[in-house]
Amino acid sequence: MSLKQQASQGAEVNEKLAALMTNANAVRAIASAVEGTLGPKGLDTMLVDKFGEVVITNDGVTILTMMEANHPAARMVINIAKSQQEEIGDGTTTATVMAGALVSTGVEQVAKGVPVARVIEGVRAGVRRALEVMQEQATPLEDLQHPWLNQVALVAGREHQDIADLVVEAARLIGKDKLLDANFKLSDTVMSEEGANNQVFMGVIVNKETLNKQMPQQLADAKVLIIDDALEPEQIEDGALGTETGFARYLELQAEFKANIQKIIDIGTGLVLVDRGVADTAEEMLTDAGIMVVQRVLNKELRRAAEHTGARVVKRTSLKKEAAELEKYLGFAKNVVGNEKLEQLWILDGRGKPMATVLVGAATEEVVGERERIAKDAASSVQAAVKGGVVPGGGSLELAVSREVEKVRENTRGMAAYGVSCVAETLRRPMSQIVSNAGFNHLEKIGDVLASQVEQNKNSLAVDCDSGEIADMFELGVLDPALVKIHALKAAGEIAEAILRIDTIIKMRDYQQPTTNSLER
């Protein structure tokens, strides 16, 4: 090979490595933005927009979704955090930090000459074994009265005892069967209001006031009608009104609509929740009858109200049914209370499925927003713990798992072993960051913990962030949901593999999908 060919080949290699380095730097930048928030001694981040609006938070996914990030690799990591949030509801910071560490260590190996394919092969093997061990280490929570549930909420709730108590109480009110429902999220029961008092109650909140002040603001033993539609008469085209037939049809529809509203009154309805608008005629008749009406209710709130009261959601065409048939669609609530101060409607003690609401309050808008995020994290962790069990926190599990991954490396031939080492090193990253954030030397502490775990044959040992001493996380009550750890590592492995496989970055030209007409021409 000539010198010219060698130089050309070297330039191509450097160009591909440069693309990898660029992506790795972007991922590292994203990870560094949130790693300072990890652990009990983690600090807050202030986000400021161009108008000077401020958000102060310790929540990883909030930081990632609000920060400005234009690099495509950075956006990939942010999407992984969003996935973690959507799937589990907590652990976004852990997933991001581990993704950053895994990409960094992988790129270092590639820079040393290890083929990317071998690194990826090793990463897959290491992650696969790590996930197996994590699942084996999970301790199930059979009983919602177990004190560990409180500890999970306290850790995820950043040691806010009041929030932890609220979330656990809500979980117990709802029950285990509901928490295991794949379509239910305990975090959705969390709401926050400036100036509100912290409380949990059996019921749901609708963030709307009644249609007018003449309607009652409190009901007892209320029948509930829920309409996923507009409470308005059927419309006819404007042009048809100019004809005798069209006008007659208009009068017929108006009469039919009034009859349907009267039917709602006759069956003893106390509360009507409407997805869209309410016609003036309906408002007037229902107000005179002493019925509470709330319009333009969010669909999510509408569904929760229906589930809790046992009501069947109907369309306005269902109002044409006979009164006896329509009455079967009604739900029931023991109490309905309008909260004028908070501009809300509380529907309490429904006859349908148990549905608790966690209301979190604070003095200012900035603080109440953060308290809601904390409560949602705690609620997500509690539900994840019920679903998948708990593991010791503080980075102890990941450190113990790293020792098992090292065994895989010893039995791996060829250069794939370097990829396995990347996973082992990544698993040490959470404890390293937690210890650093607490103000201790992470290298020294990790060495001490590793030695103690082996010596005492106890995987739950980590560093007490208050004293710096080695302690048993189970005894300290530092517990995490196993699903948070499992999903975080899985997500980190996926993003690392995706980033490592990219060796060329090409800017796309502006492209518009050809239309059918242009293709025909």
The CATH number for 443's domain is 1.10.560.10
What pLDDT does residue 504 have? 64
275 and 291 belong to one structural domain:
yes
Q: 46 forms bridges with which residues in the sheet?
A: 56
Whether 259 and 343 share a structural domain: yes
Residue 187, domain CATH: 3.30.260.10
- Specify the DSSP class assigned to residue 284: H
CB of 227 closer than 8 Å to CB of 314: yes
Domain end, chosen from 339, 372, 388, is at 388
Neighbours of 417 (CB within 10 A): 19
E-strand ranges in 379-507 read 390-392, 461-463, 470-472, 479-481
Same domain as 305, residue 207: yes
Q: Are 178 and 354 in contact (CB under 8 A)?
A: yes
Q: Which amino acid is at 290?
A: G
CA angle in degrees (0–180, nearest 5) for 296-301-306: 105
What whole-number distance in Å separates Cα of residue 201 and Cα of residue 359? Answer: 8
Give yes or no: residues 241 and 176 share one domain: no
Query: Is residue 345 within 8 Å of residue 210, measured between CB atoms?
Result: yes
- Largest Cα–Cα distance in the chain? 96
β-strands 390-392, 356-362 pairing: unpaired
Give the residue from 377, 391, 482 showing the smallest Cα distance to 159. 377
Give the burial class of 486: count Cβ atoms within 10 A of its Cβ; 0-12 exposed, 13-18 middle, 19 or more buried.
Answer: buried
CB 494 within 8 A of CB 76: no
CA distance linking residue 480 with residue 151, whole number of Å: 9
Give yes or no for a contact between 252 and 320, defined as CB atoms under 8 angstroms apart: no
Residue 511 lies in a domain: no
Instruction: Please give, one letter per residue, the 3-state secondary structure of 130-168.
Output: HHHHHHHHCECCCCCCCHHHHHHHHHHCCCCHHHHHHHH
User: Same structural domain for residues 465 and 477?
Assistant: yes
Using alpha carbons, list the distances in angstroms from residue 13 to 9, 91, 107, 241, 497.
Answer: 6, 37, 14, 75, 19
**Residue 508 resides in a domain:** no
Q: Is 27 part of a structural domain of the chain?
A: yes
Decide if 326 contacts 162 (C-beta within 8 A). Answer: no
Is the distance from CB of 377 to CB of 156 less than 8 angstroms? yes
CA distances from 479 to 147, 180, 384, 473 (A): 11, 20, 12, 7
Residue 513 resides in a domain? no
The structure's pTM equals 0.77
In a domain, 509, yes or no: no
Phi, psi of 23 (to 5 degrees): -65, -40
Range of the domain at 223: 203-354
The predicted structure's pLDDT at residue 226:
96
3-state secondary structure of 364: coil
Q: 220 CB contacts (<8 Å, ≥6 apart)? A: 334, 335
The answer to whether residues 89 and 14 belong to one domain is yes
Q: How many CB atoms lie within 10 A of CB 159?
A: 11
Q: How many domains does the chain have?
A: 3
Considering the domain architecture, whether residues 157 and 235 belong to the same structural domain is answered as: no
Q: Per-10-residue mean pLDDT for the chain, 521 residues long?
A: 43 61 82 83 81 77 79 80 78 86 90 91 95 94 92 92 93 90 88 82 90 93 94 76 72 90 94 94 94 94 93 92 93 92 88 87 77 90 94 94 93 91 94 92 92 94 93 94 92 88 68 53 45
Claim to verify: residue 249 and residue 347 sit in the same structural domain: yes
In a domain, 506, yes or no: no
My answer on whether 227 and 313 are in the same domain is yes
Distance between CA atoms of residues 167 and 371, nearest Å: 12
Q: Could you tell me if 214 and 306 lie in one domain?
A: yes
Is residue 74 included in any domain, yes or no? yes
DSSP secondary structure of 230-244: -BSPPP--HHHHTSH
Tell me: do 131 and 112 sit in the same domain: yes
Residues 115 and 169 in one domain: no
**Distance (Å, rounded) from C-alpha 74 to C-alpha 24?**
9
What CATH number does residue 234 fall under? Answer: 3.50.7.10
- Is residue 395 a part of any domain in this protein? yes
